Amino acid sequence: MRKHKNQEKSPLNSYVKFSALAIQMGVIIGIGALGGSWLDEKMNTSQPLATAGGALLGVIAALFLVLKELKNMS
């Protein structure tokens, strides 16, 4: 079987993959926090509990994404 040049691992490819993963993590956490903030405004809460909960759920989802990508890389 022939190996294609695209299948070779390069350091630049790893940097791009991890940079994209970091951006995805930030977007997921940001969406969770914004959703929680919107919910806090809708419910007129005195403490931003939904914002904290949304951000926490975003962190959990982002970590799940990272672990899934790391599993696919190895």
What confidence tens digit (pLDDT) does each residue in 39-55 have? 999 999 899 999 999 99
Read off the pLDDT of residues 10-67 as tens digits, 9 standing for 90 and up: 777 878 888 889 999 999 999 999 999 999 999 998 999 999 999 999 999 999 999 9
**What integer pLDDT is reported at residue 64 of this predicted model?**
95
Structure tokens at 11: 């350091």
Structure tokens at 26: 């930030």
- Higher-confidence residue of 73 and 46: namely 46
**What integer pLDDT is reported at residue 7 of this predicted model?**
53
CA dist., res. 45 & res. 40, Å (int): 6
CA torsion 60-61-64-65 (nearest 10°) is: -140
**What integer pLDDT is reported at residue 18 of this predicted model?**
84
